[in-house]
Chain A
C-alpha cells in the first residue's frame, strides 16, 4: 500500500447519492472529512447517515457520485480492497472464533505472518489482554464493543467507520466508551467517521458534526458552532432544545435588527439572522433555554435595560438537581422552555406565577419562517 505523506486519510464524497427503487436514501452529497479528524454523522433513524457510511465502507454502491480516500478513487472497489474498517452496530463479532482470532482476522487475511505481538498489543490498548481466549458471547456488551474496535483498528485503516457503535450499551457505559473512543482516536490519529442518533454523543466526541435529515446534510460544523448558530429549525431542535418564536422584521439600528413579536420587541445582531430580513417579513426568533433568565413580575424593574424580554406565566416547573426546568406560557409563544441553574432559588417561581423572561440580544438567532417550526423535535427518541 502506497501512502502519500498528506491527505491520504481524507474522505472525499462528491455528489454521491443512493436510491432504492423510488426511495432516495441519500440525496447528492458533497462531504470532505479531513485526515485525522473525528467526524460525526448525526441524525434520526432513516436520515441516510448509515447509508452514507456504508457507501464509504463499500457495503453499498452509490447510485451516483464518487468516493475518494485521499487521491484514490474507491467508488467501485469491493470492501475487502478498501483501506477502511468498520465497527458494526451490534459488533458482528465472529461467534465461532475467540477474541484473539477475531482481532487477528484482518491481519491473517492480508497474509501477515506473525500476528501474536500485534494482537496482544491491540488487546492491551482496549484493556482486554486477559480475555484473549474467550469467545465473544462470554464477554459483556462493553467488552464486545472494545473487541470490535480492536478488530478494526489493528489493520491501521486510513479511516475507521463506526456505525452506532455505542447504541447497544447502557447510559453509563456509553459515557465511558465515548471518552475511551476519543482517547483511542487521539492516540492512533486515524480519521474516525462516527454515525449516531445521539446528539450528546456526537457533540462530546466529534471535532466536526454533520447533521443529516431526510437524506441531506442540514448543517456541518464544530459542535459549539452548530449549537450556538443553528441555521435550520431542524438543527435548532435536534441539537438540544430551542425556543422558536414567530416574529416580524421591523427596523435596523446599527448592527442590530429589531423584530416585533406580539406587542413586544426583540433585538438581535443582524449577523445572527440567517433568514432574508426584509422589513415586514416573517422570521423565527430562536433562544436556547439556558440563556434565558427568569425574574418574578414584581421585580421587573430590576432587569437591566437592553435585554430582550417577554412576559409570561409559569405553567410547569421540574427540579432536576443542577437546574430547574420551567415551562412558561407567554402570550406570543406558549410552552417556552427555561433552564435555571439552582444557585439562588427564588421561592416565588412556582407554577401560576407571573414572570418576565429576559436574555441578551447577542444570544438570539433568527431563522427562516418558511420551515416547519417543529422539525427535529421529539425524533431523538427514535432509532
Chain B
C-alpha cells in the first residue's frame, strides 16, 4: 500500500470490491419521449405528408386523384385567393394590435397592482374558456345585433360614421363587417395575449423599478426603458399566440362576417368541405403555413428576443 495522500473514501455499508452500479436509466429519457413522438408522428407528421401529396395531385372525386407533381396548383391557388390571404393577415394583425393594447395594461395591473385580487382576476381572464369557442362567437352575434344596444350607442355617438368612412363598417350595421370580425378575433384570442404578458411582467424584479426611480427615471420613463424592454419575451410570445391562430381562423369570419370579409381559413374550409377540391385546399394550407412561418421568423429576428435574459 502506498502512503495516504488523500482522505480515504467513506466506507459504504456494501461489501468492498463491489462493482460500481451500472448506469441504469440511461435510456429513460428516450422512453419518456416515445408517447409524445408517436402522437406527433401519427397526428402531425403523417397528415402533413398526406396533405403535401394531396396538394400535388390532379384528378376529380369521381375518377380519383393521382400524384402528378402538379405544382401549378400552388400558383393558381395563390392567384385566385390572394385577396383573402391579404385580408387574413390584415385582420389578424389588427386583432393582435388590439389584443396588445387591451391586454398589456391588464397584465401590468395583475402583475404589479392587483395584490390579493391577482388570482381572482386571473380566473376571470381564463373564464371564457369554460364555454365553447363557437358559443362565445355566437354570443357576439347577439352583442353586435343590428338593433342591439351596442350598435345603437355607436350610432348615437356617430362612431359608425367614422368607421364607415374608414371602410370598417357599412351603413348602420356592425355585424357582417370587417369590424365585427376583428372584434371577434380580438375577443377570442385576448387570453392568449394576456397570459404570456403576465408571466413575463411578473418575473421582473421589483427592485429594478426602484433602481430606475433612484436613477432619475420618472414612472413613465421607467416603463419605457425598463419594464417594457424586459417584458419583450411576453410581447413576442403573446403576439405570436394571437396572430398565428387568428390568421388561420375561419369561425369569426363565418359567424360575424359576410362574403366580403372571407378569410383564407374560410376558403380552405369551403374548398375541402363544399367544393371538394382537395389539391387546392391542401395547397392553400401549405401556402398559409409557409407565409406565417416566414413572417414569424422575420418578426422574431427583428425583435431580437433571443438576446433577452
Instruction: Please list the residues of chain A having a beta carbon within 8 angstroms of any beta carbon in chain B.
Output: 57-59, 78-81, 84-86, 88, 90, 92-96, 105-106, 109-110, 135, 137, 151-152, 155
A-B contact pairs, 11 of them (CB 8 A): A58-B214, A79-B210, A86-B210, A88-B207, A92-B208, A94-B212, A94-B226, A96-B230, A105-B215, A109-B216, A152-B214
* Residues of chain A within 8 A of B217, CB atoms compared: 80, 105, 109
Question: Are A155 and B216 in contact, CB atoms less than 8 angstroms apart?
Answer: yes
* Residues of chain B within 8 A of A106, CB atoms compared: 215-216
* Residues of chain A within 8 A of B208, CB atoms compared: 92, 94-95
Give Cα distance in the complex from A85 to B213, angstroms: 10
Say how far A51's CB is from chain B's closest CB, in angstroms.
Answer: 14
* Residues of chain A within 8 A of B308, CB atoms compared: 95-96
User: How many residues of chain B get a CB closer than 8 Å to chain A's CBs?
Assistant: 20
Question: Are A80 and B216 in contact, CB atoms less than 8 angstroms apart?
Answer: yes
Is B258 part of the contact surface with A, judged by Cβ < 8 Å? no
Closest residue of chain B to A106 (Cβ to Cβ) is: B215
Is B158 part of the contact surface with A, judged by Cβ < 8 Å? no
Is B309 part of the contact surface with A, judged by Cβ < 8 Å? yes
Question: Are A105 and B212 in contact, CB atoms less than 8 angstroms apart?
Answer: yes
Say how far B40's CB is from chain A's closest CB, in angstroms.
Answer: 34
Question: Are A137 and B309 in contact, CB atoms less than 8 angstroms apart?
Answer: yes
Main secondary structure of the interface of B (DSSP, over half): helix
Interface residues of B in 185-213 (CB under 8 A from A): 205, 207-208, 210-213
Is B148 part of the contact surface with A, judged by Cβ < 8 Å? no
* Residues of chain B within 8 A of A95, CB atoms compared: 208, 230, 308-309
* Residues of chain B within 8 A of A90, CB atoms compared: 207
Instruction: Please list the residues of chain B having a beta carbon within 8 angstroms of any beta carbon in chain A.
Output: 205, 207-208, 210-218, 221, 225-226, 229-230, 232, 308-309
Say how far B230's CB is from chain A's closest CB, in angstroms.
Answer: 6
Give Cα distance in the complex from A94 to B209, angstroms: 10
In this complex, the member of A85, A93, A109 whose beta carbon has the largest number of chain B beta carbons within 10 angstroms is: A109
Question: Are B207 and A92 in contact, CB atoms less than 8 angstroms apart?
Answer: yes
Give Cα distance in the complex from A93 to B213, angstroms: 13
- A94-B211, A95-B208, A96-B230 known, 7 other contacts, Cβ within 8 Å: A59-B213, A59-B214, A80-B217, A95-B230, A105-B212, A106-B215, A109-B217
Say how far A177's CB is from chain B's closest CB, in angstroms.
Answer: 19
Candidates B210, B225, B309; contact of A59 at CB < 8 Å: B210
In this complex, the member of A79, A84, A90, A135 whose beta carbon has the largest number of chain B beta carbons within 10 angstroms is: A79
Question: Are A57 and B309 in contact, CB atoms less than 8 angstroms apart?
Answer: no
* Residues of chain A within 8 A of B216, CB atoms compared: 80-81, 106, 109-110, 155
Q: What are the 8 closest A-B residue pairs judged by CB atoms, nearest first?
A: A106-B215, A109-B216, A92-B211, A92-B207, A79-B213, A95-B309, A86-B214, A96-B229
* Residues of chain B within 8 A of A96, CB atoms compared: 226, 229-230, 232, 308-309
* Residues of chain B within 8 A of A110, CB atoms compared: 216
Question: Are A135 and B215 in contact, CB atoms less than 8 angstroms apart?
Answer: no
Give Cα distance in the complex from A85 to B215, angstroms: 7
* Residues of chain A within 8 A of B229, CB atoms compared: 96
Question: Are B309 and A79 in contact, CB atoms less than 8 angstroms apart?
Answer: no
Closest residue of chain B to A103 (Cβ to Cβ) is: B215
Say how far A286's CB is from chain B's closest CB, in angstroms.
Answer: 40
Say how far A86's CB is from chain B's closest CB, in angstroms.
Answer: 5
Question: Are A80 and B213 in contact, CB atoms less than 8 angstroms apart?
Answer: yes
Question: Are B210 and A88 in contact, CB atoms less than 8 angstroms apart?
Answer: yes
In this complex, the member of B207, B211, B226, B229 whose beta carbon has the largest number of chain A beta carbons within 10 angstroms is: B211
Give Cα distance in the complex from A81 to B8, angstroms: 63
Give Cα distance in the complex from A78 to B214, angstroms: 9
Question: Are A78 and B213 in contact, CB atoms less than 8 angstroms apart?
Answer: yes
* Residues of chain A within 8 A of B205, CB atoms compared: 92
Closest residue of chain A to B229 (Cβ to Cβ) is: A96
Give Cα distance in the complex from A58 to B215, angstroms: 12
Candidates A92, A109, A137; contact of B210 at CB < 8 Å: A92
Say how far B212's CB is from chain A's closest CB, in angstroms.
Answer: 7
Give Cα distance in the complex from A137 to B213, angstroms: 22
Give Cα distance in the complex from A80 to B219, angstroms: 9
* Residues of chain A within 8 A of B232, CB atoms compared: 96
